[in-house]
Structure 1
Amino acid sequence: MTWTWTAPAGRALSGTLGIAALLAGARIAGPRNKVLWTAALAPDTALLLGASAAPTWRQLPRYAIGPYNALHSPAVPAALLTAAALTRHRSLLVAGLAWFGHLGWDRAWGYGPRDADGFVAGRERAGEGGFRADRAGTARPGLAAPGPRRP
């Protein structure tokens, strides 16, 4: 079995690792540490960049996709943790753990990188009317049924 954040087991693993990383950072620096919470929230600054121009709450505008994907890449906490190991700087360690915790939490809730249209990559999109049918043509659970057709 291959790990993927789009599968339930991968989402559970992502959430567990994310919470463990955030708790480890809080244990090292304290639960009210500014570096911890700044790094835990920093990846979502890209959402603020595109929030006012987003076509829907599910889709980012094109200019915000690159920053969002860059800030939500595992390379960022990996670089922070590598720098912490090389320099033995506690703040870098805390920032790396908090950033990793944010990514794990996002993946646990099904949020990953965005595709070229600004939607979460790997997720099925709702149709134009908010309806998505499976192969048999029946409505999928949790999604809105289609309303009456307009002329």
Structure 2
Amino acid sequence: MHDAVTATGEVTGGVKVLLRLEGLTLFAGMVLLYAVWGGSWAVFALLFLAPDLSFLAYLADSRSGAIVYNAAHSYMVPVALLTVGFALEWPLLLSIAMIWLAHIGLDRALGYGLKYQAGFGFTHLGRIGRAKDPLGKA
């Protein structure tokens, strides 16, 4: 079997494994960097799950939920914060960026990918949660 993208938009095969390993590498790298840098573990614990507050946008609808979740789980803003924090020597910004990137990395390693508007369980790394059978049972 070869790598493919399914009709639902999820990646499969070796590409999926590679993407999840990249997530694990990002998580491990950010946690190690945070430890070496001497960041506060209390701040780490307090902020690690903060990106998941983006789930609340799903209360509005799946489209809004996917947009907000993906914005909170994209590398763009935390990498920008890391760059600015480093350039301006701003420790709190560096902490936030490293924690945020560690969170995204762990999510990707666990298979929680970027969301499609079809619903929370539809991601680029595959379906998450329990799929219902045609009779509506879990």
Q: TM-score, normalised by structure 2?
A: 0.70
Which stretches in structure 2 are left out of the alignment for 5+ residues? 1-10
Report the structure, 1 or 2, having the larger helix content. Answer: 2
SS in 1 for 2:115: coil
The counterpart of 1:46, out of the listed 29, 42, 54, is 54
Which ranges of 4 or more aligned residues in structure 1 deviate by more than 4 Å? 124-128
Per-residue CA distance 1:112-144 (angstroms, 9 max, x = gap): 11112122134258876269xxxxxxxxxxxxx
Instruction: State the secondary structure of the residue aligned to 2:133.
Output: coil
Report the number of matched residues.
121
Report the residue type matching 1:48 in the other structure.
L
Assess if the C-alpha contact under 8 Å between 1:41 and 1:102 holds in 2: yes
Residues 57, 69 of structure 2: 8 Å contact kept = no
Structure 1: stretches of 5+ with no match in the other structure: 55-59, 132-145
What is the 5 A alignment of 1:1-151?
7-27=16-36, 28-32=38-42, 34=43, 36-50=44-58, 53=59, 61-118=62-119, 119-123=122-126, 129=133
Displacement after TM superposition at 1:94 (Å): 1.1
Shift of 1:7: 1.8
CA RMSD of superposed structures (Å): 3.1
Q: 1 or 2, which has the higher strand percentage?
A: 2
Contact between 1:39 and 1:96, CA under 8 Å: does it hold in 2? no
Q: CA deviation at 1:26?
A: 4.0
Look up the equivalent residue of 1:31 and give its one-letter code. W
Larger radius of gyration: 1
TM-superposed deviation, 1:29:
1.4
Question: Which residue of structure 2 lines up, in the alignment, with residue 143 of structure 1?
Answer: none
